[in-house]
Chains A and B, each alone.
Chain A
Amino acid sequence: MISVSVNNEVKQCDDSRELSELLREWGFECEKIAVAINGDFVPRSQYSACQLKAGDQLDVLAPVQGG
Chain B
Amino acid sequence: MTETTNDIWRLYGRPFSSRLLIGSALYPSPQVMCEAIRASGAEIVTVSLRRQSPEQGGGSAFWEQLKGLNKTLLPNTAGCHSVKEAVTLAQMSRELFETDWLKLEVVGDDYNLQPDPLGTVEAAEQLIKLGFKVFPYCTDDLVICQRLRDVGCEVLMPWGSPIGTGRGLMNPYNLQTIRERLPDMPLIVDAGIGKPSHAVQAMELGYDGILLNTAVAQASAPVVMAEAFRAALLAGRLARLAGAMPERQTAAPSTPTLGMPFWHQQ
A interface, CB within 8 angstroms of B: 7-8, 26-29, 32-36, 39-41, 43-44, 59-67
Contact = CB atoms under 8 A, between A and B. Distances in A.
A28 B88 contact: no
Contacts of A27: 53-55, 58
B88 A63 contact: no
Interface of B: 23-27, 33, 46-55, 58-60, 62-63, 66, 75-76, 78, 84-85, 88-89, 91-93, 95-97, 163, 213-214
Given A8-B51, A39-B85, A41-B88, A65 B24 contact: yes
A62 B91 contact: no
B54 A43 contact: no
B75 A66 contact: yes
A7 B56 CA distance: 13
B88 A7 contact: no
A63 B73 CA distance: 11
Contacts of A28: 54, 58
A7 B51 contact: yes
Nearest to A64: B50
Given A34-B93, A66-B46, A67-B76, A61 B88 contact: no
A43 B78 CA distance: 21
A11 to B, nearest CB: 12
Given A27-B54, A61-B50, A62-B58, A35 B26 contact: no
A67 B78 contact: yes
B49 A67 contact: no
Contact of B96 (A34, A40, A65): A34
B88 A36 contact: yes
B214 A62 contact: no
19 contacts: A28-B58, A32-B60, A34-B93, A40-B88, A41-B92, A60-B51, A61-B50, A61-B92, A63-B48, A64-B25, A64-B62, A65-B27, A66-B23, A66-B24, A66-B46, A66-B76, A67-B25, A67-B76, A67-B78
A22 B32 CA distance: 37
B54 A26 contact: yes
A34 B95 contact: yes
B51 A61 contact: yes
Contacts of B84: 39
